[in-house]
Amino acid sequence: MITLDNSHLTIEDVANIALQKQNIQLSSAPQFRERIAKGCNFLTCLLQEDGEIYGVTTGYGDSCTVSIPSNLVTELPKHLYTFHGCGMGNTLSPILARAVLVARLASLCQGYSGVSEELLEQLEHLLQHDIIPLIPEEGSVGASGDLTPLSYVTAVLCGERKVYYKGQIRGTADVFRELSIKPLTLRPKEGLAIMNGTAVMTGIACMSFNRAEYLAQLATRITAMATLATNGNAHHFDDILFQLKPHPGQQKVAAWLREDLHVGEPPRNPKRLQDRYSLRCAPHVIGVMEDSFPWLRQLIENELNSANDNPIIDGEGGHVLHGGHFYGGHIALAMDTLKNTVANIADLLDRQMALMTDTKFNHGLPANLSGAAGERKSINHGFKAVQIATSAWAAEALKHTMPASVFSRSTECHNQDKVSMGTIAARDCQRVLQLTEQVASAVLLACCQGVELRIQQGEIFQQNLSPEIVDMLKAVRKISPPLKEDRALDTELNLMVNAIQEKSWKLYKNH
């Protein structure tokens, strides 16, 4: 059970809740509840004293000069989530939508949004009962926060729009009625508190980071197997060599490769002095991603554990602070950076695939890694089409690396005249991850085929392989048998992608 208060939440916490590996609850600690109540009570008192509060007694954004009559103040939050109901495109998966709920709840739990305990508890109910809002992907410019997609969360809290529940898409009102959940009536400022923040991009960022960490390890294991398949020079990953360029992530990847390949003292006369860059420089490519993780984690977790709406309500000190904490620039940078490093992994693995399937470069393996024998060789094509598809996926991943953050637009009557595009960057990153996982699934199948062909040729002895490589071969073969006769591989490739996304294989212990 993960207990939410205003203490530090990690990327792993968000991922575990989103993947339903852990449950969530609000803290019952008196000091936490008092902090929430102070902000809410302060707003109530301020309203009674006719204090002017942005988004409470005024319109929103450029309409902040419009004063709201006191008898209409309570209706304003409903209008906010209603007119923002213009999201388009696909809806976020239930996993990503859960991450969004956790990110928004974590921010509101900081105690600087002026919301009531009832609102926090309503969000808690959604997560505990797995009532997940249908959130359209498109419509956010990443400042003033994720307004349009978060309007769908707000509407669901109030019993409107649609949700995923028990594998079906249903009307929220019906589900609430079935579970005896009372729709929330928003207090002044609460609509703004939910919507005017970075929860969509931050939730997606947490899940992207979580996937990328595993992908870095998997790309390393694939590189080890591609080195074996092509009779490569494992001493490119020598410890002394990597001590001389001390990037920690790069050194970690080289150490993993040495572990997989049992690298000892360099031979005096290796078969080949230098492999092509996609093998020799693999630690330098994967290492860039590994070395980016610590500071990407800092950017994402700082955003996750921040109060990021506007205005900020300081109930303790009695201040209403107007600022721009809804701006998603840090997540935009994190996602634009991460998608770049991930796409480079796709490119690296695609080049390894090209080496293994081409007789000019694979050092004695059959064309396209075909496992056919005798006259059957003439009509079998092995991984020929898979190699083409792998290049298509890698190219598309690379295409998505254009930074979204440089495409700021002026919106909302030039009030939001500089925006982050963080949510688009986060969505791009998810797409790049999907494509790169598809590349990894294909190249891993090819690597297994290549290593097994070497064993058949008597150039590798299975007893000399590391236990980790042997275990990987066995695990893959439970999903996809060796390719001896041509067959459609789409089902097996999809199963491989699922296994990657579920982190089915234990990789490196010292990660």
Catalytic residues: 54
Question: Which residues have CB under 8 Å from 433's CB, separation 6+?
Answer: 208, 211, 212, 215, 339, 342
Spatial distance between the Cα atoms of 43 and 62, rounded to a whole number of angstroms: 22
Spatial distance between the Cα atoms of 330 and 303, rounded to a whole number of angstroms: 8
Cα torsion through 486, 491, 493, 499, rounded to 10: -140
Q: Specify whether the CB–CB gap between 418 and 325 falls below 8 A.
A: no
> Residue 19 is encoded by which pair of tokens?
């993947």
503: Cα separation from own chain's centroid: 14
Please write down the long-range contacts of 56-61, taking CB distance under 8 Å and 24 or more positions apart: 56/188, 56/189, 56/192, 57/188, 60/192, 61/144, 61/412, 61/413, 61/415, 61/416
Q: Minimal CA–CA distance to 500: which of 93, 94, 215? A: 215
Q: What is the gyration radius of the CA atoms in the chain, in angstroms? A: 26
Q: Specify whether the CB–CB gap between 383 and 446 falls below 8 A.
A: yes
Question: Which residues have CB under 8 Å from 352's CB, separation 6+?
Answer: 222, 223, 226, 278, 279, 443, 447
> Which amino acid belongs to residue 21?
K
Beta bridge partner(s), residue 411: 416
Q: Can you tell me which residue has the tokens 């062909």?
A: 453
